[in-house]
Structure 1
Amino acid sequence: MVSSVHLVGICGTGMGSLAALFKAAGWLVRGSDRDVYPPMSDQLARLGIEIDQGYSPGHLDWAPDLVVVGNIAKPDNPEALEAEHRGLPVTSMASALADHFLAGRTSVVAAGTHGKTTTAALLAWALHAAGRDPGFLVGGVLSNFAATSRLGDGPEFVVEGDEYHNAFFDRQPKFMHYRPEIAILTSVELDHIELFPDVGSLRDMFRSFIRLVPAHGRLLACHDDAGVRATVPEDLQATVTWYGLGDGPGTRSTLLEAGPGGMTFAVHRQGRSFGTFRSPLVGAHNLLNLTAVVEVLIGLGVNAATLADGLAGFKGIKRRQEIRGCVGGVTVVDDFAHHPTAVRETLRGLRLRHTGARLVAVFEPRTHSSRRAVFQEDYTVALTEADRVIIAAVHDAGDIPARDRLDPTRMAADLCRQGTDAAQIDKVPDIVHHLATTCRRGDVIAVLSNGPFGGIHQLLLAALSRLQSTDGQPAPEMTTS
């Protein structure tokens, strides 16, 4: 008999990815969400998964065998209440993943404040390229698969370990459910301040996670990150392998060359040369991610030549330095960066890829943490990596008291005082007009937001194309992703 599952909040990245896994496993799958929008709605539609708009008790009339409630749902969610009233089995996203897809497989979990999506995606692709057919669930669309999850049939299952809470009835971070046999800790830095009021509480939670790794398991820990060094306890039962760049303990990488096509780097293990590798990614942050992946795959028995082929063939992740289009020599890049450190490293990476270009950063403060004043100075410093900066209005600013709210106007003024051309512009149409009329051939515009940002990418590309046409010249060919 075929099992059935209903997912409440199905269009979230994690929930939609889980729905795809259930579908691949042969379950009947349906779901609901208040906001049904691409790209997840498109991915689910391609899989033939029916989505109900909004939340209603009647959406459970089909009496599914299991109801998965996403962390978007509050305790008064009509479907969560109805499932309880009907006595239907209810679980969370992370628990469902662990119970139905991680059991009996080697769980490989990439966790950390930064880099976990890219690291998990690299792991999944490199294992696939090595013929190991891994399962995976990652918080971004892997371009190699055009998917965020895959069931796979091999021994490993790769998971992006999210530290955010699981559900209203389970306030643990998702990664506490993932039973890691191999864990990667990329970085530990203050984030999600609505859940972790200080860095000490965040470190405690990551410490609890890495203590889940059994004695026969492995922890790959980034020695270059001070937060990681402060988090990893000396009495950990698992084997700890440190990694980083340049000199230091454990597995180390050295950048040999970087440019528009990516970077070449050398890896040393235990003081000995292991090999030279090529990746289409750029930036020190990505080199750290690659180093961790190399060490994990070596431990799983993948040889250097196979590993090199896999890393070179990685096509990236949607919304991670993703080129959305180029019009008249102006390149528009989309990136999910929203923490000050991620903003800084993303801009530095784009400098390496687009040598000599004028770099324009367009930043939307959208996350709970980025909308608050706690990171005001850190964002200002990070954005000095760009030549020009546009700061949008704080998303849903009314939710935050003025005294606690990030001040984009002051940030723009501070950047100008430090020699960076900056402006604060509230609305997307005005930002688009400003950029379209002031950018020049060779500019790279980096749009930094974890949300849709009003469709600014396509609006900007269209505006650039129209402007070229009205200049009395044929509009240049517009290339878009």
Structure 2
Amino acid sequence: MRVHFIAVGGAAMHNLAIALHLKGYQVTGSDDAIYEPSKSRLQKHGLLPEVFGWYPEKINKGIDAIILGMHAKADNPELIKAQELDLPVYSYPEYIYEQSRDKTRVVVGGSHGKTTITSMVLHVLKQISFDFDYLVGAQIEGFDNMVKLSDAPCIIIEGDEYLASPIDRRPKFHLYKANIGVISGIAWDHVNVFPTFENYKEQFSGFIDTIQEKGTLIYCEEDEVLSDLIKKHKIHNKIKFLPYKALDSEVKEGNTYLKLDENRELEIGVFGKHNLMNLNAAKLICNELGISDEQFFNAIVSFKGASKRLEKMAESDDTIVFRDFAHSPSKLKATVGAVKNQFSNRDLVALIELHTFSSVNKDFISEYKDSMKAADVKIVFVDETNLIQKKVDPISESQIKEAFNDRDIIFFNNSSSLERYLLELNILNEYNVLLMSSGNFGGIDLVTLSKKILKNRKKY
């Protein structure tokens, strides 16, 4: 098979390219710009384009499939050439489905927790030597690539609700046709594509409709919006519905213990109510694949979390600096609450960068109301350069405070000033720092910053 990627540098795209290359396919690709880590990873496998740009002369009848990335546009010259030659053009979710038609397809959807649930399942399956393929949205310890395609009987897919490609406006998770589907919760996001909450909810209703007959939907019963949606779908009765909630646990001296029964408890490496719900979802997925609770719990104890999900950047006796991917209101509130609850004796310095299109949209920003109330020091950063790139009007400090319903918010729109503030923190108590963003805080080196925060920690 000869496959050509248009916009090969994307996070999912370059991983799929590597997976097909490792499967023995002849893989080529193009892009107008490729950044790290995609660049180095493609180069390692000999898949990095020699020159960047779009070259329609690369497209010919000898190509078996074109895979089109979201970064490309509908008028891309390579795409136009492929269409002229009547070549098969797929979005990457379409192609994943083509590769997994005969497998049991587990698709993990929801506005939050997708990556963590998927990562938990992958970790358990690997620990017990279960044969599986996968597609996940973050780098996971012990996995070299974010996509694997083989002859395994099942595939675990992180199912994103964003659009499949520039010429396919369907949500990605609709295209996988799940046998086992998961919805972790519904909280409005992607306002540039789904301008109303009702429109956004419809995408999850559509996802439920794509679950194959006699399949299973695992869903969070603690999410009221989702529970209402499920009631409307249960009347069809073509699939099995499995509700879940947070597993019973107890926090002792900064550590979380699962209560397995009256006499047994199990220390785990993740914390927070949202992660205890994620754990239950992952357990139910594994149960549906024939894995016992005992196998699951024995394996999950060594799970330390997915990349950028409450990841410890630096730690001392009295301070921990965490990094987290939280950026939407629901994720922000859950993450702030989790850290504060886990370390109730410590002050919490919480910083959120509003980076996505949704988060800097003035019609959406009020969704952040009360999302940082649990923190002791609350900081919001908006990178002016990011606003210019997104062609969004500037956001003022007063707008931020009103949207968050919090007059104590400390606002920055300059990364140098933000970094200086964090390095000059003067807090008497023990404290933790939580850095949350889907971006990079205007180019701040978070590894170096985290180490400097601990170094500058003043002792009293």
Please report the TM-score for the alignment, with normalisation by the length of structure 1: 0.85
Alignment of 1:58-457 (within 5 A): 60=58, 64-100=63-99, 102-151=100-149, 153-232=151-230, 233-236=233-236, 237-245=238-246, 253-257=247-251, 260-266=254-260, 277-326=266-315, 330-394=319-383, 396-398=386-388, 399=390, 402=393, 407-412=396-401, 418=407, 420=408, 422-439=409-426, 442-456=430-444, 457=446
Task: Give, in angstroms, the shift of residue 164 of structure 1.
Answer: 0.5
Determine the C-alpha separation between the residues in 2 that align with 1:35 and 1:328: 43
Task: Please tell me the residue identity of whatever aligns with 1:216.
Answer: K
**Alpha carbons of structure 1 residues 262 and 72: separation in structure 2 relative to 1, 3 Å:** farther
Distance change in 2, residues 1:129/1:259 (3 Å): farther
The question of whether the paired residues in 1 share the 8 Å contact of 2:370 and 2:406 is answered with: no
Question: Is there any run of 5+ residues in structure 2 with no aligned partner, and where?
Answer: none
Tell whether the 8 Å contact from 1:130 to 1:302 is kept in structure 2 after alignment.
Answer: no
* Alignment check: 8 A CA contact 2:59 2:78 kept: no
Taking structure 1 as reference, are residues 324 and 59 closer, same or farther at Cα in structure 2, changes over 3 Å only? farther
* Deviation by residue 1:228-258 (Cα, 9 ceiling, x = unmatched): 112221223101111113xxxxxxx222335
Deviations 1:362-415 (A, max 9, x none): 22111111111234333241122221122222563244564xx75444324787
Q: CA separation of 1:65/1:219 partners in 2, compared to 1, >3 Å: closer, same or farther?
A: same
Question: Is the CA contact 2:323–2:434 (under 8 Å) kept in the aligned structure 1?
Answer: yes
SS in 2 for 1:140: coil
1:477 aligns with: none
- 1:218–1:438 CA distance, 2 compared to 1 (3 A): same
**1:283: how far off?**
0.7
Q: CA deviation at 1:78?
A: 3.1
CA deviation string 1:75-128 (max 9, x = no partner): 12233233334554321111111112x121100011011111111111122122
- SS of residue paired to 1:142: coil
SS in 1 for 2:146: strand
Deviation at 1:442, TM superposition (A): 4.1
Q: Detail structure 1 runs of 4+ shifted over 6 Å in the superposition.
A: 413-416
Query: Which amino acid is 2:242 matched to?
Result: T
Higher mean C-alpha displacement, 167-176 vs 233-242: 233-242
CA displacement 1:244-273 (0-9 Å, x = unmatched): 13xxxxxxx222335544442448xxxxx9
Measured after TM superposition, the shift of residue 220 of structure 1 is 0.7
> Structure 1 residue 302: deviation in Å?
1.2
Distance in 2 separating the partners of 1:436 and 1:361: 14
Q: Aligned residue for 1:33?
A: 31
Worse-matched range after superposition: 204-213 or 355-364: 355-364
Closer, same or farther: CA 322–309 of 1 in aligned 2, 3 Å:
same
2:245 and 2:280 in contact (8 A); partners too: yes
* TM-score (normalizing by structure 2): 0.88
SS state of the match for residue 373, structure 1?
coil
Change in Cα spacing, 1:387 to 1:378, as seen in structure 2 (3 Å) is: farther
1:197-225 superposed Cα distances (whole Å, 9 cap, x missing partner):
22222222211111222232111111110
The Cα shift of 1:171 comes to: 0.5
Question: Aligned-residue CA RMSD in angstroms?
Answer: 2.9
Alpha-carbon distance in 2 for matches of 1:356, 1:45 = 47
Unaligned runs of 5+ in 1: 246-252, 268-272, 474-481
Q: How many residues align?
A: 451
Distance in 2 separating the partners of 1:417 and 1:346: 18
Match of 1:80, SS? Answer: helix
Deviations 1:454-473 (A, max 9, x none): 332135246547868xx9x9
Q: Which residue of 2 aligns with 1:476?
A: none
Does the CA-based 8 Å contact 1:179-1:213 persist in structure 2? yes
Task: Give the residue type in structure 2 aligned to 1:445.
Answer: V
- Which SS does the other structure have where 1:209 is aligned? helix
Equivalent residues of 2:352, 2:381 under 8 A apart? yes
**Shift in Å, 1:432:** 0.7
Q: 2:9 aligned with 1:11, yes or no?
A: yes
Aligned counterparts of 1:72 and 1:434: Cα–Cα separation in 2: 35
- Shift of the 297–464 alpha-carbon distance from structure 1 to 2, 3 Å rule, reads closer
**Quick check: 311-320 or 138-147, which moved more?**
138-147
Note the C-alpha offset of 1:336: 0.9
Q: Does the 8 A contact of 1:433 with 1:463 survive in 2?
A: no
One-letter amino acid matched to 1:242: P
**Percent identity between the aligned chains?**
25
Q: CA deviation at 1:278?
A: 4.2
Check 1:358–1:213 CA distance in 2 against 1; reply closer, same or farther (3 A cut): same
Secondary structure at the residue paired with 1:50? coil
Contact kept in structure 1, 2:139 and 2:306, CA below 8 Å: yes
Q: Distance in 1 between matches of 2:253 and 2:9?
A: 36
